[in-house]
Structure 1
Amino acid sequence: MDIDWAALGSVFGVSLAVTVALVGLFTLGIVGLSKGEAATSGASTAGTSTAGGGTATAARTGAYVCFALCAAAVAYGIYLIVA
């Protein structure tokens, strides 16, 4: 039995990089949702000011994009396993 150490190292490196990237992307999504919620609650407690509305919308949109990219990466991984 012969182990191809170069291929094993390559698989380990790629899986480590993709895992770190996915966790980072998901974390950015959670931070974006919390920033959007904080901006929305801050604008509602300030009275009639709507200055935080654009910031909240941008943060929420960015969070949804991060979550969509995570879902796409997971779907691609499942596709690679099945195919």
Structure 2
Amino acid sequence: MDIDWAALGSVFGVSLIVTVGLVGLFTLGIVGLAAKPAEGPSAGSGSVALKRTGAYVCFALCAAAVSYGIYLIVA
């Protein structure tokens, strides 16, 4: 039995990068949903709406990445 160490290292590296990226993206989504409206005279609702929209985009990208991974496994 012969192990292709270069291929194994490549799979490990790509898996590590994708996992850290996906967790970071999901974390950004959580932070965006946790945004509270600012208080004071210059408080606008646009900032919270923008953060919430960004959070939904992050979650959609996470769902797309997971769906693509499932597609790769099944295909």
What TM-score, normalized to structure 1?
A: 0.83
Query: Shift of the alpha carbon at 1:50?
Result: 8.3
1:19 partner letter? T
Deviation readout 1:24-66 (Å, 9 max, x if unpaired): 000000000111xx11xx45xx6xx683310110000000000
Paired with 1:62 and 1:78, the residues of 2 have a C-alpha distance of 24
Q: CA RMSD in A?
A: 1.5
What TM-score, normalized to structure 2?
A: 0.92
What pairs with 1:3-82 in structure 2 (closer than 5 Å)? 3-35=3-35, 38-39=36-37, 42-43=38-39, 51-82=43-74
The structure that is helix-richer by fraction is: 1
Unaligned runs of at least 5 residues, structure 1: none
Aligned length: 75
Name the larger-Rg structure: 1
Percent identity at matched positions? 76
